[in-house]
Structures are given as C-alpha cells and as structure tokens.
Amino acid sequence: MAVGNIGNAGTMAELGKMVVEKAQAIAPVDKTGRGSHGDPPGALRDSIKVETVSKGSVTIVAGGIEHPAAVAVEFGAGRHDITPRQRRRLAFFWDKPTEGGAPGWYSFRKVDHPPTPAQPFLGPALDSINMLSVIRALVTEAWNSAA
C-alpha cells in the first residue's frame, strides 16, 4: 500500500502558512505609532508571506520592497553610513534630538547609523515548529487517507 506524497503542494502551503503566522506574531512592530524607515507600523510584519509553493518546497519572504531592512532586523547590523539615493540630503523628524536641539525636521548629507541588535523573527518561527511532530502527523494523515 502506498502512503502517498507528504510533500505535495497543499501540505507545503499549510506548512508555509504555519511559519508565516508564527513569524508575523514574533516580528517587531514599532509601538510609537510612527513606524520606521519611512514605513507605517507593522510594515515588516505585513511583508512576511508565502511567495511560492511547489511539491516538496515552500518559499517564505520577508521585506523586499515593502521593508528592505528586514535582513538587518533578523540578523542585526553593524555601524554603517546612510546616504541619500534620490536626493541630495536625508530628512528626519526627531522628537528628542541630541545636543539640546529642539524637536523638528533635520536634514543631513550622510548619517552614521549606530549598530543595531538582531531582533530575529523568521528563525524563531521555524524553530518553534516541531518538524518531527508535523511530519509524523502528515504521514499518519496520508496513510489514513490511502487506506
């Protein structure tokens, strides 16, 4: 008796959905209501999705155009310069500027960004899924449906 293919597209889609839901629950969301990097609050969380599903694989993406800093959030980033790409200067609104400045808009030719600690969301989502239990359940389901 053949058990069937537990890596079919439907199964992979379900597995991808589980990972996406866990990653979205873990992903950091700006609590100030302003968002970050010019994005609204929750932009990183909302960018996590299943991109492609096929027999035996599922591709989950985070970031991209919606939130290009996703890699830096997941793994952290060292000190780096930020320079404008389309304009001559960068503009930021600071509530609490350093050196005694008043809150308001500030512009710079370059910003020395301090290191950013990792805030992983995809890795912990994958780690939280007990793959052995999932595979066992999928094999059992396939076995029972083949009977």
Asked if residue 57 and residue 3 are part of one domain, the reply reads: yes
Is there a single domain that holds both residue 10 and residue 65? yes
Residue 66 banded pLDDT, cuts 50, 70, 90: low
Are 14 and 69 found together in one domain? yes
124 belongs to a structural domain: no
Mean pLDDT taken over the chain: 83
Instruction: Say if residues 49 and 72 touch (Cβ distance below 8 Å).
Output: no
In-domain check, residue 125 = no
The answer to whether residues 89 and 73 belong to one domain is: no
The answer to whether residues 17 and 67 belong to one domain is yes
Distance of CA 14 to the CA centre of its chain: 18
Position with higher pLDDT, 74 vs 35: 74
pTM for the model stands at 0.72
Share of the chain above pLDDT 70, in %: 90
Residue 72 forms part of a structural domain: yes
pLDDT of 42 strictly over 80: yes
- Per-residue pLDDT tens digits for 99-118: 777 888 888 999 899 999 99
Q: Are residues 26 and 52 in the same domain?
A: yes
Do 73 and 93 belong to one domain?
A: no
Q: Does the structure show a pLDDT above 60 at 15?
A: yes
Phi-psi region of 137 (alpha: psi -120 to 50; beta: other; left: phi over 0): alpha
Identify which of 63, 56, 53 has the alpha carbon closest to the alpha carbon of residue 23.
63
99 is a domain residue:
yes
CA 93/CA 107 separation, integer angstroms: 9
For residues 46 and 24, membership in a common domain is answered with yes
Whether 9 and 46 map to the same domain: the answer is yes
- Structurally, the chain folds into a number of domains equal to 2
Q: Residues 63, 16: one domain?
A: yes
Range of the domain at 85: 79-114
Q: Average pLDDT for residues 122-139, to the nearest whole number?
A: 82
Are 70 and 90 found together in one domain? no
Asked if residue 34 belongs to a domain, the reply is: yes
In a domain, 145, yes or no: yes
